[in-house]
Amino acid sequence: MDENKVLTNPEEITPEKKKRMMTYKSEKLIMSIVFLLPWLIGLSLLFLIPMIRSFRYSFYKLTPQSGQILEEFIGFDNYFFAMNNHVTSTSSFKVELLTTTFDVAINLPVLLIFSLFIAVMLNMKFKGRAIVRAIFFVPVILNSAAVATALGSGDAINRILEQQGIGTIFDLEFYLLQTGLAPFLISFITGLIDRIYDILALAGVPILLFLASIQSIPKHLYEAAKIEGATAYEMFWLITLPNVTPHIITVTVFALVDTFLTSPVSRIISDELNVQRWGLSSAMAWIYVATIVVLLLIIGGIAKIFKIGESHYEN
């Protein structure tokens, strides 16, 4: 056989093969619709009308009266107020939105790398593997938000150390400055360390998704690689990572949405809703949604450019 011969030459695709390919694509489309149908029904019956009404309310000043709600059209005033004038006792909507967006840009790559690394480790055979898996999933089981509130994002531990008379044991920033590293790089490293608690709280489900993806990889691929003398490092880059890549988008979307749901932005929107500033709350919610959509479009564009999320079996 000529080694230079292209096995997937379009000219070699017969009408029968083309028909089978079309049938397979049709089956995938039908199954996709079937799995999406419950979500579409729920969206149309439970969410679509409130979403449209919320968007309309964002352009009004709403005043509750006995038995009715007075509506005063004010255009984009709610949006301008939310982004320029809204403040709370500790922060503002604009500051918290920008902070959360920045945190997402930093946390997502670290979360993906950390979750994939831990999933690969947990997939190995060792004693106590089930217990170790449960430990990494504990924040999800116990509700990460409740645990974070109880522990104060690590402040409780710091207070205990202070009560014991234990001060700063190791000033990482000081030692990094002595090495001559650039200030922005030092800030990035120390910022990642400060986010370890948040990353661990968010990593439970991504680790589980990556672990399920790894366990779905055909075992014969690893067996064939071992026979050929491939090392564990080579098997990760040539087998594990290409097969896990289609699930990176799923994990990224989950982590993105979960980060925003647990951010102070959601609390600010809820607080405005509770004090019956419904128009302002609706405007904030749509700014919140628009920010997530823009981030998803950016992630989708990056995935399209680098072909992340595509199944290499179908290429």
Residue 157 pLDDT level (bands cut at 50, 70, 90): low
Residue 73 pLDDT level (bands cut at 50, 70, 90): very high
Nearest Cα neighbor of 202 from 295, 290, 118 is 118
| More reliable by pLDDT, 54 or 91 | 54
Residue 304 pLDDT level (bands cut at 50, 70, 90): confident
Three-class DSSP category at 253: helix
- When the pLDDT of each residue in the chain is averaged and rounded to a whole number, the result is 79
Which pTM was predicted? 0.73
Token readout for 18 is: 């083309």
CATH topology of domain 86-305: MetI-like fold (1.10.3720)
Write the pLDDT tens digit of every residue in 92-147.
899 999 988 888 888 888 888 888 998 998 888 888 777 877 777 776 666 555 55
Quickly count: other Cβ atoms within 10 Å of residue 281's Cβ. Answer: 24
Residue 80 pLDDT level (bands cut at 50, 70, 90): very high
Q: Which letter, b or e, does each residue of 194-231 get, where b requires 16 or more Cβ atoms within 10 Å of its Cβ?
A: ebebbbbbbbbbbbbbbbebbeeeeeeeeeebeeeebe
User: With 0-12 CB in 10 A as exposed, 13-18 as middle and 19+ as buried, what is 289?
Assistant: middle
Q: What is the pLDDT of residue 8?
A: 47
Q: What phi and psi, each to the nearest 5 degrees, are found at residue 263?
A: -90, 165
What's the mean pLDDT in 192-210? Answer: 79
Write the pLDDT tens digit of every residue in 233-253.
899 998 998 889 888 888 888
DSSP character string of 155-202 = HHHHHHHHHTT---S--HHHHHHHTT--HHHHHHHHHHHHTHHHHHHH
What's the mean pLDDT in 36-58? Answer: 90
Q: Is the pLDDT at 41 greater than 50, yes or no? A: yes
Q: Is the pLDDT at 258 greater than 70, yes or no? A: yes
Residue 3 pLDDT level (bands cut at 50, 70, 90): very low
Q: What is the pLDDT of residue 2?
A: 43
Which amino acid does the sequence have at 248?
Answer: I
Residue 254's alpha-carbon distances to 28, 68, 204, 247, in angstroms, are 23, 39, 11, 11
| In the chain, % of residues over pLDDT 70 | 77
Token readout for 45 is: 């019956």
Q: Which letter, b or e, does each residue of 29-55 get, where b requires 16 or more Cβ atoms within 10 Å of its Cβ?
A: eeeeeeeeeeeeeeeeeeeeeeeeebe
Distance CA 224, CA 227 (A): 5
Q: Is the pLDDT at 10 greater than 70, yes or no? A: no
Q: Is the pLDDT at 211 greater than 80, yes or no? A: yes
Q: What is the pLDDT of residue 65?
A: 82
| More reliable by pLDDT, 231 or 14 | 231
Q: What phi and psi, each to the nearest 5 degrees, are found at residue 70?
A: -80, 130
Per the CB < 8 A criterion, the answer to whether 173 and 189 are in contact is no
| In the chain, % of residues over pLDDT 90 | 17
Q: Is the pLDDT at 85 greater than 60, yes or no? A: yes
Distance CA 93, CA 308 (A): 33
Q: Which letter, b or e, does each residue of 135-167 get, where b requires 16 or more Cβ atoms within 10 Å of its Cβ?
A: ebbebbeeebeebbeeeeeeeeeeeeeeeeeee
Residue 44 pLDDT level (bands cut at 50, 70, 90): confident
Q: What is the pLDDT of residue 5?
A: 45
- Signed CA dihedral, 172, 204, 209, 120: sign only: positive
Q: What phi and psi, each to the nearest 5 degrees, are found at residue 310?
A: -90, 140
